[in-house]
A and B are shown apart, each in its own frame.
Chain A
Amino acid sequence: MAQMLHNALRSLVSRKGKWLAALVLVVYFIINLFPMYWILVTSLKKDAEVYTPRPTFVPLHPTLDNYVSIYTTRPYLKYTVNTILISVGATLSCVVFGTVAAYGFSRFRFAGNRALRYIFLASRVFPPISLIIPIFLMVGWIRLYDTVLAQIIVNTYMWLPFFIWINIGFFDTIPRELDQAAQIDGCSRMQSFLRIAFPLSLPGVAASSIIAFLGTWNEFLYNLILGPTPRAKNLSVGASDFIADMFVSWNQMAAGAIIACLPAIVFVVFFQRYIVKGLTSGAVKG
């Protein structure tokens, strides 16, 4: 009996750390997820339930009116299409330019290889706002002001250096012998990249693409300045328009916020592993 009690006590003591950890996590998750829950609930409420002295934690009369209303009374369809085009466009150009460049850096020796890598890395030190004046003027010169194309170009600039840098790391982990074997079998250097190294580095490409995609999807400053009208406006700036109104419609804003969060939800739930991989390798190398 005494022995049993002793064992129980000991296991409890050794588990104490785990219980504390679980408690910390629960508290953190509440802080982390409650704002999202609250915005979701708000987006499903009618005005009367939003502007009340007694807020409800579960909507009494859930409705999708707010979602319908932002798509019918505001150019939300245009914002959504723009955001998808910009994010897909910028991510694709990062993949095309970025993987080719990263492979070139990783596999071949040429004058300035190391220096150029660090120039790419150093370009991340520039705060985006510090280049916005020249880019604003340049976009005007080439008449791309207020276009989706300009948004794709500036977002590529923001993510390409990151993309190249972490993919150099991923290519370095793929054994060179595989490329060389392919070349002995008669592949050209480009083919051994496309058929061997690129497919093998797909997990790395996926990790960096997801981060570049979400980063572009979430971009605010350049969209605000270079895309002032619905022609190029994205969901982030679109959602912030609500608070500029005389009377802020919080439940409609909430609906817009939920729409803007959809890819974040999908990627975090289904591709969490890739995001962690991309963030850690980017940080460790960067």
Chain B
Amino acid sequence: MASVSRSLPSRASEPSITGSGRRVRGVAVRRQQILKDGQFGFLMVFPALVLLALIVVFPAVYVLVLSLFRDSRGAGIWTGLGNYRTILFNDSKFWPYLLNSMKYVVFGVGSAFVVGLIVALSLNAIRKFKGMARVFALWAWAVPPVIASLMWKWLLNDTNGAINHLLMALRLIKNPVAWLSLPWGTMFILSQVHSWTTVPFIMVILLAGLQTIAPELYEVASIDGAGSFHKFRVITFPLLKTSILTSVMLSSIFAFRTFDIVFTLTGGGPGETTEMLVTYVYNRAFVSMKLGYAAALSVIMVLISMIMVAFFVKLIPTEDIS
């Protein structure tokens, strides 16, 4: 790797004939290299490493420590795994909220994947207006998630929302529907707003994967008389497997951590039907000020994220992991 540049100091010490006069003088100053290449490389990485230690490693350890203390006025009291025991066995909210988080991930990413795949295949098929089509398709990704959520909150508004107006004009519904206060179904609507923000990301990754598939493969298949669905199943799908798994993995862990959309669109309501682990951590930590308990919930969220990643990494063919 660095073997060639390691031999450089001796050579660089000779005045360069190719360089300008100023450069030769420069060489004389920089001739001796105090640090070996490896040390120099580490020195380049070091500032970022310090930053990482301060704002990721230390907080990660700290949250773990906090999670071992009970919340009480003044100093916390050591409770070991007490918080975890309470969460897993004595908390009537944890499991329903975890289930809601999972619903959010599965419904949100599931439909985003289906739409993203269809859009990617379509973008791959057209010849004209490619650039413009991509600008339009990418749009929802760049919109701040909070703004996306506020847009849909306004569209879904019960008294003045465009969707109710539209559906009533089409005579599909008689009276305005309060989409965000349905006893059931609001969870699904919420997940679909998330899906709206995620489709472009999945689409971009799948499209990149599609473009690496050689068109000759399809030609050969056509000669063999394969129909388009058959071609998709035998050529596209297997060759796209890695792109599919990475895009679904990344968007699943992002969906699991998404806070802004649920916080602004439903705020956990109606009732507690859309409360999830993210909102639970937020409420425990910053509304009821139970830092130790919220820290334990945070650690559980990290563990779940790790399990999700491990699950998908297992599925990705090993030769494709760089």
Contacts and interface: CB of A to CB of B under 8 A. Distances in A.
B27 interface: yes
B146 to A, nearest CB: 4
B50 to A, nearest CB: 9
Interface in B162-209: 162, 165, 196, 199, 201, 204-205, 208
B158 interface: no
A183 B5 contact: yes
B78 interface: no
Given A18-B126, A35-B151, A55-B162, A103 B144 contact: no
B250 A283 contact: yes
Contacts of B60: 126, 131, 134
B2 interface: yes
B190 to A, nearest CB: 15
Contact of B19 (A119, A185, A237): A185
Q: How large is the interface on B (under 10, 10 to 19, 20 to 34, 35 or more residues)?
A: 35 or more
B246 A239 contact: no
B127 to A, nearest CB: 7
Contact of A240 (B18, B43, B264): B264
B41 A127 contact: no
A254 interface: yes
A104 B51 contact: no
Chain B interface SS verdict (over half): helix
Interface in A230-286: 235-237, 239-240, 242-243, 250, 253-254, 257, 260-261, 264-265, 267-269, 272, 275-276, 279-280, 283-286
Contacts of B220: none
Contact of A257 (B26, B126, B151, B286): B151
B87 to A, nearest CB: 14
Contacts of B45: 100-101, 104-105, 110, 116
Interface stretch (B91-99, B102-110, B233-241, B298-306): B298-306
Contact of B208 (A50, A116, A218, A280): A280
A204 to B, nearest CB: 15
A207 to B, nearest CB: 12
Interface stretch (A2-10, A21-29, A62-70, A71-79): A21-29
Contact of B44 (A18, A103, A188, A214): A103
B205 A280 contact: yes
A129 B281 contact: yes
A253 B154 contact: yes
A153 interface: yes
Contacts of B204: 275-276, 279-280
A100 B160 contact: no
Chain A interface SS verdict (over half): helix
B104 to A, nearest CB: 13
B80 interface: no
Contacts of A50: 160
Nearest to B48: A101
B137 interface: yes
Contacts of B208: 276, 280, 284
Contacts of B152: 35
A225 B287 CA distance: 11
Interface in A134-182: 134-138, 153-154, 156-157, 160-161, 164, 176, 179-180
20 contacts: A18-B125, A21-B122, A21-B126, A28-B118, A32-B199, A35-B155, A52-B160, A55-B160, A98-B48, A100-B47, A101-B44, A105-B45, A107-B1, A108-B38, A134-B66, A239-B150, A240-B264, A261-B143, A268-B142, A272-B135
A-B interface, 3 closest residue pairs, ranked by CB to CB distance from nearest: A108-B41, A104-B44, A127-B257
Interface of B: 1-2, 4-5, 8, 11-12, 16, 18-19, 23-24, 26-27, 30, 33, 37-45, 47-49, 51-52, 55-56, 58-60, 62-63, 66, 115, 118-119, 121-123, 125-127, 131, 133-148, 150-155, 157, 159-160, 162, 165, 196, 199, 201, 204-205, 208, 228, 243, 246-247, 250, 253, 256-257, 259-260, 263-264, 278, 281-282, 285-286, 291, 294-295, 298-299, 301-302, 305-306, 309, 322
